[in-house]
Structure 1
Amino acid sequence: MTDVLAELRALRAGDLPTHGGHTLAYVYDSGLAGLDELAASAHALASSANALDPTAFPSLLRLENDLVATAADLLGGGVGSVTSGGTESCLLAVLAARGDAPEPNMVLPSTAHAAFHKAAHLFGVRPVVVPVDPVTFRADPAAMAAAIDDSTVLVVASAPSYAHGVLDPVAEIAAAAAARGVRMHVDACIGGWVLPYFRRLGVPVPEFGFAVEGVTSVSVDLHKYAYCPKGVSVLLHRDADLRRGHYFASARWPGYTMLNTTLQSTRSGGPLAAAWAVVRQIGDEGYLRLAERTLAAVRRIREGVAAVDGLRVLGEPDSTLLALAADSEEFDLFTVADEMRERGWYVQPQFAHESSPLNLHLTVTAANHGTENEILTALAESVAAARAAGPVRVDPDVAAFIAALDPGTLTGEQFAGLLSAAGLGGSGALPARMAEVNALLAAAPPALRERLLLEFLGTLYRPGKSFT
C-alpha cells in the first residue's frame, strides 16, 4: 500500500498546486488547516454507500437534505437536489424546463456558461444567444426580453458570469421572463455561496435568488466557495413542481424500478459526506470570515493591477473573479501567462469573444489573502518580460489559411497535421510554453478551435499502463 501511495504522490507532483492560492482557476482553497483531513475522513466513511436508493442509505438522504437546506437559507428558499457539479446543475435546470415542448429554445446572454450550450446540444433546446453590453459585459434586459418568444422554455442569467465576474441584472430579466410565463434560471454556481456573505459585509450586492420575483431556479456549487471537495453542487427550484421535470423513473424492465433525482444513477456517498462535514465544520460565521478574507484579497489585487503598466481590469467585477486585459499591443498576454507560470502562478487565458478582448482570468479565494503582493509582483515582472520579448506574431498567410478551413470537411489525418503544426501533436504532451500555441488557436474560428482541441483531447486519452 505504501508503494502505491508513493507512486500516486509522485504522479501528483506534476500537477498544478491545489493549495496556497497559486492556481488562480479550477481550484478553491480556504487556507484552513485540517479541513482536507476532515473531508477525507468523512468521504471514507460514506464512499461505499450509494445515494441511488435513499431508503437503503437514509444517512445520505439526511446529508443531502441538510446541504440543500443550507443553500436554501443563503438563496431565499426553495427545494433542491445535490449534483456532481455546476455543469450537471445547469443541465438539470434546462432539462426540467424543457418538458415536452416540440421545438424549445432558451434565451442566453453571450456570457452564459458553456454548460448551457452543452445542455442545448444534449436535450435539443435551441440556444438564442443575446449579446451583452460591450463595456460592462452585463446582460441587456431589453434585448433578452425581445428574444423571448412562444417557444422559449428558459431564460438564463449569471451571478456572476465566469469570464468577467459581473452580475447580470437578474431582477429585470426575471420580470421579463415572468411576464411571458417562462422559467428563469440564475447560474450562481460561483457566486451563490460567497455573494450573500459579501452583502453581509456591506457590499451592495443586488438580490439574485428567490427573493427576486420570477426566478424559478438557482444553481450553486459547494466545491467552489463553500470550499468542499469536488464535486458537489446544489440545484434549487422555487417549488417541487418545478423540480419534477428532471426526476426520472423507469419500471420498464424486470429489475428494480430505477428512480433518479439527477443525471446519475449510482452516486457515491463520499462527496456528500465530505461536503456535509466541511459545511458543518466551517459554519456560518466561518464562511463570513472566509468571505471577508476573499473580499480583501480581491480588492487589493484589483487595486494593484491598476499600478501594473499595461494591464487593466475588464468591466466592473462584482465578485471574486477578475479578467485582466492588455492596454496596448506592445506585449502578448499569452506570454504573460507563460511568465506567470514560470514564477509559480497559474492564470487562465481567455480568448477574445465579441467585445471582450483576449484576457487573463483570475479566480481569487480566501487562500490568496496575504499573497496579494506576491501575485502583483509576479504580474509586473511577467508583463515586463513579455514586453521585452515582444508580441507573438502569427504569419498572416498561416492565419488566413487557418481562417479558411472548414472543420466539418477535414479528415483525421489533416487534423493530426494541424495539431502538429500548432505544437499539439506527437505524444499529446503540452510544450512548456504555450504562447505560440495559443496565438495559433486564437487565429482559428471558434468551430475550428473546438475541433482542434477535441482532437488533441483524443490524443491525451488513450490506454496507459495496464495493471495485468
Structure 2
Amino acid sequence: MIDEEGLPAHGLPAERVLDGIRALRSGDRPTHGGRLFAYVYDPAVPGLDELTAAAHAESAHVNGLDPTAFPSLLAMENALVGAAAQLLGGGPGTTAPDVVGSVTSGGTESLILAVKAARDAHPEITEPRIVMPVTAHAAFVKAGHYLRVAVDMVPVSAETLRPDPAAMAAAIRPETVLVVASAPGYAHGVIDPVTEIAAVAADAGVRCHVDACFGGWALPWLRRLGEPVPAFDFAVPGVTSISVDLHKYAYTPKGVSILLHRDPELRKTQYFAHADWPGYTMINSVIASTRSGGPIAAAYATLRHLGEDGYLRLAAVTRDAMNELADVIRAAGGLRLVAEPESTVICFTVTDPELDLFVLVDELAARGWHTQPQLAYAGLPRTVHLTLTASVAPVVGKFGPDLADAVAATRAAGPVKLPAELLALARSLTPEGLTPDLVAGLAAGLGLGLGEAADAGAEPVPARMAVVNTLLEEVPAALQERLLVEFVGLLQRPTWSRD
C-alpha cells in the first residue's frame, strides 16, 4: 500500500521516505526509454542523470533572489544566456552583438515576460494587443489573460499549417505591441515564415517575438547537419526577442528556459522593481523572487558535459530516428503525416474513416507507447503529436510492428460511439452552469473515479481515454475549458493525515 500521508506524527527513516516516493512514481509514465512522446526529453546519455543530480544538490539551497549574494548563480546564468545567444545568431561578430537575456523557469514564464516587456514598453497604449497565429502556443493566451492584453489570432492554411504574412500584417492595429511567430509550432512541428512575419512587424514598428522554446536548441544543430532549416533567429531583421527552453533539446532537467532580447533597451521593461515599502528593495528580472539555484546548476552542468560535439551527435541521432519513424507512419495503412517533419516533431492523422484516432492512441498506450492526442480544431483534423528525442533511436524499430498491430486492433474495435444520453447531457451544459458535483457525475459516467458519484475503485484517470477525448471534441472550447478546470480541481484535493 502506498503511504500518501504528508506529515506523519513521527518522522520516518530516510530510506522509508524514499521507498514511498518510488512507490508513488511507479504509476507515472516512463521518463526514460524513448516510449513517451511528450513532456520529457531524454538524451539517453549514460551518467547524465547522476551528474545533474549532483550539480543540483550543490546549488539547491542557493537563492536567486539576490545575484550579489550568490555570484556563483549569476555566473552560471550569464553563461547559459551567452550560450543560447550565440546559438541563436547573437553575440560578438553578429548583426545582434548586444543580445541580453534572463533564465526563467520554463517556456510559459519566458512567453509571459516577453508579452510583459512589450506591453510595458508602451504605457500610452491603454488596451494593448498581440497578434499571433492560431498555432502559437497557448501560453501566449495565458499571458494575455494574466496581463490583460487582448490576443488577435490569425488562421493558418489547412495545407501548410502556416499563417499568411499578409494576414498577420492586416491583423496589426495601432494598439498592437507584439507580433508572434513559432519555430516550430508545438502542435505540428511546423516553422512559421519568420522572415516575412518579422518584416511586417518591423514595418509597423512593433516588436516580434520568436517562440523557439521547442526548437531553439534543436534547429541550429540540424542546420549544421545540412538540414534546410529556414532563418528564424536574430539573423533575421525585425526579430526582437526569442525564447528557448533548455529543458527540452538542451536535455537539462526541468525548470530552465531562456528569454533573449536583441538589446538591453528592449529588456528594461521586463524587470520589476519596488522600493516604496520598509523592507528590502525588490528587483526581479523574472516572475519569481526566490528561486532555487538547483535547476540552473544542473543546466550549466549539462551544457558543460555535452558540449557542441555532444549536441551535434544527439541531433543527428534524433534526426535519423525521426526519418525512420516517419517512414513507418507513411507505410502504415490509413495514416498520413499532416506535415513533412522539419524539426523534431512527427504529427499524423487518419485517412480511413474506420480508424478512430483516439482509439489508436489508447491501443498504442496498451502496447507501451505513450503519444499525445490533439483534438480537431477549426477545420484541422484530430492528430497525434510525437516529440522525438535521442532516446527514441534504440527502440524505433519496435514501433512499426506495434503500430501495425494497434491499427488492426483499432479497426476491429471501430469508432467510439457516445451514449446518446451522455452526449445530450454534455451538449446541454454551459460553462456557467457547471458545478463540481455535476462534473463528478459526468466523470463517473465516463468511468473516472472522482467525487462521491464515482464507482468504488475507479481510477481518476483511466488507461483508455478515447471516450473522454471524443466527448471533449463534441462541445465548444469554452465548455471544454470549464470541464477540465473542474476536473483538475477534483483531482487536486488535499490528503489528510490519518488518526
Give the TM-score taking structure 2 as reference length: 0.91
Are positions 1:439 and 2:470 aligned together?
yes
Cross-structure match for 2:446: 422
> Are the aligned partners of 2:208 and 2:239 in contact in 1 as well (CA < 8 Å)?
yes
> Are the aligned partners of 1:90 and 1:219 in contact in 2 as well (CA < 8 Å)?
yes
Are positions 1:222 and 2:246 aligned together?
yes
Are positions 1:35 and 2:40 aligned together?
no
Cross-structure match for 1:338: 362
Cross-structure match for 1:93: 114
Cross-structure match for 1:166: 190
Cross-structure match for 1:410: 434
Partner SS state of residue 92, structure 1 = helix
Given the superposition, is the C-alpha separation of residues 457 and 248 from structure 1 closer, same or farther in structure 2, using an over 3 Å criterion?
A: same
Tell me how far apart the structure 2 counterparts of residues 432 and 173 of structure 1 sit (CA, whole Å): 42
Tell me how far apart the structure 1 counterparts of residues 246 and 463 of structure 2 sit (CA, whole Å): 33
> Are the aligned partners of 1:25 and 1:363 in contact in 2 as well (CA < 8 Å)?
yes
Worse overlay, 159-168 or 390-399: 390-399
List alignment gaps of at least 5 residues for structure 1. Answer: none
How many residues of Structure 1 are paired with residues of Structure 2 in the alignment?
A: 468
Cross-structure match for 2:26: 13
Cross-structure match for 1:300: 324
Q: Deviations over 1:371-430 (max 9, x none)?
A: 212122221111111101111112456435433432123344333333333333525711
> Are the aligned partners of 2:184 and 2:214 in contact in 1 as well (CA < 8 Å)?
yes
Partner SS state of residue 265, structure 2 = helix
Worse overlay, 53-62 or 331-340: 331-340
> Are the aligned partners of 1:104 and 1:125 in contact in 2 as well (CA < 8 Å)?
yes
Q: Which amino acid aligns with 2:380?
A: S
Q: CA deviation at 1:49?
A: 0.4
Tell me how far apart the structure 1 counterparts of residues 201 and 56 of structure 2 sit (CA, whole Å): 40
Tell me how far apart the structure 2 counterparts of residues 198 and 326 of structure 1 sit (CA, whole Å): 28
Please list, as runs of the form range in 1=range in 2, the aligned pairs for 1:277-316 lying within 5 A after superposition. 277-316=301-340
Q: CA deviation at 1:202?
A: 0.5
> Are the aligned partners of 2:439 and 2:487 in contact in 1 as well (CA < 8 Å)?
no
Q: Deviations over 1:237-268 (max 9, x none)?
A: 00111111110111121111011010000000
Are positions 1:257 and 2:281 aligned together?
yes
Cross-structure match for 2:63: 50
Q: Which amino acid aligns with 1:430?
A: V
Cross-structure match for 2:391: 367
Partner SS state of residue 131, structure 2 = strand
Are positions 1:82 and 2:103 aligned together?
yes
Q: CA deviation at 1:180?
A: 0.4
Are positions 1:192 and 2:216 aligned together?
yes
Given the superposition, is the C-alpha separation of residues 48 and 116 from structure 1 closer, same or farther in structure 2, using an over 3 Å criterion?
A: same
Are positions 1:460 and 2:473 aligned together?
no
Please list, as runs of the form range in 1=range in 2, the aligned pairs for 1:378-417 lying within 5 A after superposition. 378-395=402-419, 398-417=422-441
Q: CA deviation at 1:342?
A: 1.2
Worse overlay, 415-424 or 448-457: 415-424
Cross-structure match for 1:129: 153
Q: CA deviation at 1:465?
A: 4.7
Cross-structure match for 1:108: 132
Tell me how far apart the structure 2 counterparts of residues 148 and 425 of structure 1 sit (CA, whole Å): 47
Cross-structure match for 1:64: 77
Q: Deviations over 1:254-301 (max 9, x none)?
A: 111011010000000000000000011000111000000000011111
Tell me how far apart the structure 2 counterparts of residues 224 and 302 of structure 1 sit (CA, whole Å): 21
Partner SS state of residue 223, structure 1 = coil
Q: Which amino acid aligns with 2:469?
A: N
Identity of aligned residues (%): 57
> Are the aligned partners of 1:158 and 1:168 in contact in 2 as well (CA < 8 Å)?
yes
Tell me how far apart the structure 2 counterparts of residues 413 and 4 of structure 1 sit (CA, whole Å): 35
Worse overlay, 264-273 or 244-253: 244-253
Tell me how far apart the structure 1 counterparts of residues 204 and 413 of structure 2 sit (CA, whole Å): 55
Worse overlay, 49-58 or 309-318: 309-318
Q: Deviations over 1:102-156 (max 9, x none)?
A: 0011001000100000001000110000101111111211110110010000000
Tell me how far apart the structure 2 counterparts of residues 326 and 36 of structure 1 sit (CA, whole Å): 37
Tell me how far apart the structure 1 counterparts of residues 137 and 321 of structure 2 sit (CA, whole Å): 25
Tell me how far apart the structure 2 counterparts of residues 266 and 146 of structure 1 sit (CA, whole Å): 42
Q: Deviations over 1:177-216 (max 9, x none)?
A: 0000000000000100010000000101011111000000
Q: Deviations over 1:58-88 (max 9, x none)?
A: 0000000000000001101121000000000
Q: Which amino acid aligns with 2:202?
A: A
Partner SS state of residue 312, structure 1 = strand
Tell me how far apart the structure 1 counterparts of residues 274 and 447 of structure 2 sit (CA, whole Å): 48
Partner SS state of residue 173, structure 1 = helix
Cross-structure match for 2:86: 73
List alignment gaps of at least 5 residues for structure 2. Answer: 1-13, 91-98, 452-458
> Are the aligned partners of 1:187 and 1:219 in contact in 2 as well (CA < 8 Å)?
yes
Tell me how far apart the structure 1 counterparts of residues 71 and 118 of structure 2 sit (CA, whole Å): 29
Tell me how far apart the structure 1 counterparts of residues 166 and 423 of structure 2 sit (CA, whole Å): 37
Give the TM-score taking structure 1 as reference length: 0.97
> Are the aligned partners of 2:436 and 2:490 in contact in 1 as well (CA < 8 Å)?
no
Partner SS state of residue 103, structure 2 = strand
Let me know the Cα RMSD of the aligned residues: 1.4
